[in-house]
A and B are shown apart, each in its own frame.
Chain A
Amino acid sequence: MTRVAAGGRIDRNTELAFTFDGKAYRGYAGDTLASALLANGVHQVATSICYGRPRGIMAAGVEDANALVQIETPFPEPMLTATTVELYDGLVARGLQGQGRLADLPDQARYDAMHEHCDVLVVGAGPSGLMSALTAARAGARVVLLDDQPELGGSLLASRNQLAEWVSAVTSELNSLATVRVLRRTTAFGYYDDGFVLALEKRTDHLGAAAPPAAARQRIWRIRARQVILATGAHERPVVFADNDRPGIMLAGAGRAYLNRYGVLGGNRVVVFTTNDSAYTAALDLADAGAAVTVVDARTEIPQHPAAECARRGVALKAGHVVTGTSGNGRVTGAHIAPYADGKAGARQGIGCDLLLVSGGWNPTVHLFSQARGKLRYDESLGAFVPGSSVKAVRVAGSAAGVFTLSGCLSGAADAAVAALQELGLSSAPPALPSLDAEPETTPGLVLWAVPDKGDESGPCRRFVDFQRDSTVADILRATGAGLTSVEHVKRYTTIGTAHDQGKTSGMIASGIMAEALSTDKHQVEVASLGTTTFRPPYASVAFAALAGRDRGEIFDPVRVTEIHPWHLEHGAVFENVGQWKRPRYYPQRSAAGSIEDIDTAVLRECRTTRESVGMMDGSTLGKINVQGSDAGEFLDRLYTNLMSTLKPGFIRYGAMCGMDGMIIDDGTVARVSDTEFVLTTTTGNAAMILDWMEEFAQTEWPELRVNLTSVTEQWVTIALVGPRSRDVLASVAAELDLSNEAFGFMTWRDASVAGIEARICRISFSGELAYELNVNAWDGLALWEALIEAGKPYGITPYGTETMHVLRAEKGYPIIGQDTDGTVTPQDLGMGWVVSKKKLDFIGKRSFSRAENQRPDRKQLVGLLPVDRTVLLDEGAQVLATADLSQLPVPMLGHVTSSYRSAALDGTFALALVRAGRERIGQRLHAWQDGELVSVTVTDPVLYDKEGARRDG
């Protein structure tokens, strides 16, 4: 056991049992999985992804690049760092070689989103964050303080109870204030615009199986803050040397945190390799805990205070030395040290050790600041990037700002809060700073990225930069040797910084090594000029489940259904998604024997019944827009290609709309209700787009027109009653309405009572058959549908779905905008020149029709295609070729199939296609390419059924 007898912030009265790599261990409440493993003498946690090398725990927080584990119970979760997993009873985990495994069962946990607004958001609850939050809170500001740890204190938690009373007093004060929200176990992972910060709160992860099932496991906090103070601290960075990746080698600050916070002494014979003052606190604390410590300091001049403290404890001090490599089989057993001068290491000598602590300095955690578009400045003395510009409403405090004395952090944090409060118009009196022991004067560290070695990288010794990616100094040199000079390119070439930790410990070092590699005797490349790779959110890993929150499964996206939907469900309709709508695609019939019709049989039956007798379809999803105002007619004239203002009340006109470029964007019918009111229909999927399109013109181009637009899609249920017997069916339920062709002609509408329901009946047809489109108040829709089904029974009425609708309209050559068109097709290309007004001076798209490009005779035009073998169904999207000779490449392609169906009426398959100069090719034999074969087709007019329109009036 390496747990020290007393001390630390763990609860020694609460023992927890856990299993790692199949072995049972015990730890305490307050442990992380990492500290509990170390307490049990387990240093090797994982295996490296490329080289299979044993790897241990290198840090005590989120920056760890090594200790990836897979959690198995209570719910499988891949790729967590052992240093961020709080220990719980019953935890089962195992070490990973790079990649984890997602659960193959659904996650039953609940994930939530929270929305929060505050005056001041403080990220990080170390000494700086606490001081900022306290200052802001006392001024009466609404404060949110968040920290990724289960308790507040930040770096102080790793100390020997430094300022413990102050931390606890501030914590209680903040907790007591109604204006302050303190979020523990919460990581701010992204700064977006205007003070918008996303944070992940882990609420029950630390409870394991004891987590209450009703509580959300994790929450995404969406925080909008008027002022943000980033007190995110700093990450220690290592120094790179040969075989620097063995278990038992960790950051100096981590070694100290395990001792002081978790009561774990990571080793008994300890070498501390440092380039700066900060690691001495670790050396002294570990020595005081009973370890035999040797400090190896790359600097020749050791500051007097730490030197004296080392001497007092018998800590050996090797000034002007570096660690050049390590020994060990698994865990480290020895450090190779050598004198270091003029950038060169001398003859090496071995020191036995079971723990090697390393410190190469500290990198301010500037991720969020950088995401807020703050500029970074390279600080030569720190060997790190620090905030280098001001960002509106964002301040950086403490070591995140490059301040590394406690007194400096505290006073700077108070100042930052005062400045933020000032901008909010709140006056403040900064709280008194806690009294501190005199801090020894700090001396500058030495910036050392990598200890040089003999240059032999081919052997087994490797100098690792990014442990998780198994990327080495040699990889960087290979990248620069290949001519790469940008940190972004080197990142992608070497993969350094692309793992779960996003290079928190390796990115800065990689830039430093790159600068050295690119420098020549004549030209010095500065780290400052290389910069850093981009700090993108998320700062730490966030599960997709948390981001999705409750928006998954049925409520991932709204589902729109019509009022008749329950009937469709009850009658076995097969649905298809059209935008957000669920529309019946077809209604398969069940035979007495229980077998169910397939789609082809069902659709052929629905088509035949409709053409020969009567069918009906739920068309409620059609977009419907009500246009009102004294200028409504003029307005529609400007948007549609044809004239609408001349339409008389009671009449209906088909219309097409084009974009400014003359390409058709939608079509539908326009019914005039009165002098000042029209109702128009749009394609189901285009309803919102067309309303927006019309609204934009009404508001921006022609605000002088008196016109108002309202979507009425959901207010009306629309039922199409189609077929030669539709008149008979309607007559049986609309007794008082004269349905004769003379009284109620094609393209007119009438209001009438149908089965006791007030309906607006339009004589329009999307099938070529005699047809009535009945529009009723949405709440009457189901009743009308059922009444029509009942009335149609004597005629064998069939409900039909979108598939039959498509076949019937395609037989008539009616295009579907968005299926037979793709934004490059004009009305003329569709053979619908008749819908384009010659009388109107102008309308949207008119001028584009005369552009040279739109006048070309070889434009793609809509035609019909009949396969020579009428049993072959063409693929929609199949290319249409002029020749069967495929030897001349590229094979000239004329266009593609846009719609293709089996037809009962045409007794075989047919298709619509866009074909270059298609109308000139009518009668020609062309070829469609599908499934690696040529299918011969004959080009026809797109209207294949009832060309003379004899069936329209029944």
Chain B
Amino acid sequence: MQLIRCPWCGSREEVEFHYGGQAHVSYPENPAELSDAEWARYVFFRANPRGPLAERWVHAAGCRRWFNAVRDTSTHELLAVYRIGEPQPEVAR
């Protein structure tokens, strides 16, 4: 079982966390102005790279706070964790 470092609580077991999909996909400023295709892209499309991906996680069975993490999707290694509102850190792959 993986250890995930909550930026508020420290390292905890992965069962305490829930996954929230790709991070930094913000809600569009004005959805009404988007075409169907643009809106569909926001609602349904997410990156699926092999390698580092910034993701949202929530410490559901702990402090219940959301945070962001950069995870290598091929190894599951969490390369960085950072709080909501903080910029995505550069990570060496």
B18, A692: Cβ atoms closer than 8 Å: yes
A700, B36: Cβ atoms closer than 8 Å: no
B interface footprint on A194-208 (CB within 8 Å = 1, 0 otherwise): 101000000000000
Chain B's closest residue to A851 (CB) is B36
A848, B3: Cβ atoms closer than 8 Å: no
Q: Is B66 an interface residue (CB 8 A)?
A: yes
Chain A's closest residue to B23 (CB) is A700
Q: How large is the interface on B (under 10, 10 to 19, 20 to 34, 35 or more residues)?
A: 20 to 34
B39, A847: Cβ atoms closer than 8 Å: yes
Question: In the complex the two chains form, what is the Cα distance from A334 to B28 in whole Å?
Answer: 82
Also in contact, A700 and B66, with CB within 8 A (given A848-B43, A851-B36)? yes
A194, B2: Cβ atoms closer than 8 Å: yes
* Distance in Å: Cβ of A900 to nearest Cβ of chain B: 33
* Distance in Å: Cβ of A951 to nearest Cβ of chain B: 40
* Distance in Å: Cβ of A117 to nearest Cβ of chain B: 12
Chain A's closest residue to B24 (CB) is A700
Q: Is B46 an interface residue (CB 8 A)?
A: no
Name the A residues within 8 Å of B58 (CB-CB). Answer: 692, 695-696
Task: Indicate the member of A373, A695, A847, A851 with the most B CB atoms within 10 Å.
Answer: A847
Question: In the complex the two chains form, what is the Cα distance from A401 to B21 in whole Å?
Answer: 40
Chain B, 29-87, CB within 8 A of any chain A CB: 30-32, 34, 36, 39-40, 42-44, 56, 58, 60, 64-66, 75-76, 84-85
Chain A, 636-681, CB within 8 A of any chain B CB: 660-661
Name the A residues within 8 Å of B9 (CB-CB). Answer: none
Question: In the complex the two chains form, what is the Cα distance from A846 to B28 in whole Å?
Answer: 12
* Distance in Å: Cβ of A277 to nearest Cβ of chain B: 40
Chain A, 187-224, CB within 8 A of any chain B CB: 192-194, 196
* Distance in Å: Cβ of A321 to nearest Cβ of chain B: 49
Question: In the complex the two chains form, what is the Cα distance from A660 to B45 in whole Å?
Answer: 12
Name the A residues within 8 Å of B26 (CB-CB). Answer: 701
Chain A, 368-383, CB within 8 A of any chain B CB: 373
Q: Is A852 an interface residue (CB 8 A)?
A: yes
Name the B residues within 8 Å of A703 (CB-CB). Answer: 84-85
Q: Is B89 an interface residue (CB 8 A)?
A: no
B36, A852: Cβ atoms closer than 8 Å: yes
* Distance in Å: Cβ of A694 to nearest Cβ of chain B: 12
Partner of B84 from A373, A660, A700, A848 at Cβ < 8 Å: A700
A847, B34: Cβ atoms closer than 8 Å: yes
Name the B residues within 8 Å of A597 (CB-CB). Answer: none
A696, B39: Cβ atoms closer than 8 Å: no
Question: In the complex the two chains form, what is the Cα distance from A358 to B82 in whole Å?
Answer: 58
Question: In the complex the two chains form, what is the Cα distance from A252 to B51 in whole Å?
Answer: 47
Partner of A847 from B18, B31, B75 at Cβ < 8 Å: B31
A700, B18: Cβ atoms closer than 8 Å: no
Question: In the complex the two chains form, what is the Cα distance from A847 to B32 in whole Å?
Answer: 6
Question: In the complex the two chains form, what is the Cα distance from A846 to B34 in whole Å?
Answer: 12
Q: Is A21 an interface residue (CB 8 A)?
A: no
Name the B residues within 8 Å of A699 (CB-CB). Answer: 65-66, 84
Name the A residues within 8 Å of B65 (CB-CB). Answer: 699
Name the B residues within 8 Å of A695 (CB-CB). Answer: 58, 64, 66
* Distance in Å: Cβ of A40 to nearest Cβ of chain B: 45
Q: Is A841 an interface residue (CB 8 A)?
A: yes
A842, B66: Cβ atoms closer than 8 Å: no
Name the A residues within 8 Å of B39 (CB-CB). Answer: 847-848, 851
Q: Is B91 an interface residue (CB 8 A)?
A: no
A701, B64: Cβ atoms closer than 8 Å: no
B2, A851: Cβ atoms closer than 8 Å: no
Also in contact, A701 and B36, with CB within 8 A (given A661-B43, A692-B58, A692-B60)? no
* Distance in Å: Cβ of B79 to nearest Cβ of chain A: 13
Name the A residues within 8 Å of B84 (CB-CB). Answer: 699-700, 703
A193, B3: Cβ atoms closer than 8 Å: yes
* Distance in Å: Cβ of B38 to nearest Cβ of chain A: 10
* Distance in Å: Cβ of B27 to nearest Cβ of chain A: 5
B interface footprint on A834-859 (CB within 8 Å = 1, 0 otherwise): 00000001100011101110000000
Partner of B20 from A192, A696, A847, A851 at Cβ < 8 Å: A696
Q: Is B1 an interface residue (CB 8 A)?
A: yes
* Distance in Å: Cβ of A860 to nearest Cβ of chain B: 20
Chain A, 284-327, CB within 8 A of any chain B CB: none
A interface, CB within 8 angstroms of B = 192-194, 196, 373, 660-661, 692, 695-696, 699-701, 703, 841-842, 846-848, 850-852
**A-B pairs with beta carbons under 8 Å apart, 11 shown:** A193-B1, A193-B2, A196-B1, A661-B43, A699-B65, A699-B84, A700-B66, A703-B85, A842-B32, A848-B39, A850-B36
Contacts A193-B2, A700-B84 supplied; 6 other A-B pairs, CB < 8 Å: A660-B43, A692-B18, A695-B64, A842-B31, A847-B32, A847-B39
